[in-house]
Amino acid sequence: MSYQPSREVLSKPKSVNAQLAEFVRKSPTCEYPAISYLSTEKYAGLISERVRNPWKINQKETYLCGPNAYLFCLATSHKEYYVKYMLDLWTFGEASIAGLYVKPSNSCLNFNVQLASESGDISAEDWVALASLRDSSNAFFSYDAIKDGIAGISYPSDMLEWFRGSVYKSSSNHASISRRGDVQDLIRAQRAQRSNAFVCMLISAKVVQPKAAKVNALANHWAILSSDITVAGKSIDLVDMAYDELLEEELQFTLATWGYREGKLPVHQLYPRGMGAGNKLTVKDFLNYFYGYISAK
């Protein structure tokens, strides 16, 4: 079978259940040799689990946090597009998410994901989803290794391209890999969250890896804001206090990342002694590891 992306762009996918049932009935040959050990029934079941619980999409030991964040949003808000993306990758080795065309390289298609899955580095279904998207967007490097930090990294421009090129009607970039965010960025992120936009935060992985003492403060991790950002018990955009005072207040919020249950990782609880010298996660502490956000809806 040949893939026709132009036709796929124009047609809205069938329902999740209809797509999965048709896939199992037709039982197409898998275009990823390394995951052909999975039956179509097993693969369909894994996809079904992801659309029921998008927070289970998990990059694990890979550098695929950018695709993880984007596809979490897609599986949450446009489930039928996520399913079609996953089924077309299996069937054709390429796929479209509305106007976003994804075609991974042969090295990505042939990566030994069974070994990676058995060692706990990443599951087969998440490799197909995340690595294919990342690899397709790379101009010079193929993503075909778990620890490939160069080919795996996602820049704000990549994230924006995925949102704008697919099914999201509006998106905006307030992130930078070289400039830390400020209080106003947190306030804008909170307002975007309240408007039902997805807010993908660019942070240092140290924020969600408190035991990784050697992790630096570079912008190297994407995670989705999954709660209000609160200070002194109020949403940060509703707090009325002096700037210097606000910086020393405790900051509370949750993130969807690394498959944490229900997508509600309480960042403020990871640092009972604070990230700095105090005994709480302050606004000032977090800003040292925060590089802005991208919003989409």
Give the residue with greater pLDDT, 280 vs 181: 181
pTM: 0.92
Q: Is the pLDDT of residue 274 over 70?
A: no
What share of the chain has pLDDT > 90, as a percent?
Answer: 70
Q: Is the pLDDT of residue 261 over 60?
A: yes
Which of these ranges, 54-63, 147-156, 165-174, 243-252, has the smallest mean pLDDT?
147-156
pLDDT for the residue numbered 136: 86
Per-residue pLDDT band at 207 (split at 50, 70, 90)? confident
Q: Is the pLDDT of residue 270 over 50?
A: yes
As a whole number, the mean pLDDT across the chain is: 88
Which of these ranges, 51-60, 79-88, 170-179, 268-277, has the smallest mean pLDDT?
268-277
The full 3-state SS of the chain, as one line of letters, equals: CCCCHHHHHHCCCCCHHHHHHHHHHHCCCCCCHHHCCCCHHHHHHHHHHHHHCHHHCCCCCCCCHHHHHHHHHHHHHCHHHHHHHHHHHHHHCCEEECCEEECCCHHHHCCCHHHHHHCCCCCHHHHHHHHHHHHHHCCCCCCCCCCCHHHHCCCHHHHHHHHHHCCCCCEEEEECCCCCCCHHHHHHHHHHHHCCCEEEEEECHHHHCCCCCCCCCCCCEEEEECCCCEECCEEHHHCCCCHHHHHCCEEECEEECCCCHHHCEEHHHCCCCCCCCCCCCEHHHHHCCEEEEEEEC
Q: Residue with structure tokens 């289970």?
A: 56
pLDDT for the residue numbered 62: 87
Give the residue with greater pLDDT, 115 vs 268: 268
Per-residue pLDDT band at 225 (split at 50, 70, 90)? very high
Q: Is the pLDDT of residue 8 over 90?
A: no
Which of these ranges, 47-56, 126-135, 146-155, 226-235, has the smallest mean pLDDT?
146-155
Q: Residue with structure tokens 């489930």?
A: 79
pLDDT for the residue numbered 4: 65
pLDDT for the residue numbered 150: 46
Per-residue pLDDT band at 164 (split at 50, 70, 90)? very high
Q: Is the pLDDT of residue 140 over 50?
A: no
Mean pLDDT for the stretch of residues 225-247: 95
pLDDT digits (tens, 9 = 90+) for 39-92: 999 999 999 999 999 999 999 888 899 999 999 999 999 999 999 999 999 999
pLDDT digits (tens, 9 = 90+) for 287-296: 999 999 999 9
Mean pLDDT for the stretch of residues 125-143: 79
Mean pLDDT for the stretch of residues 198-225: 85
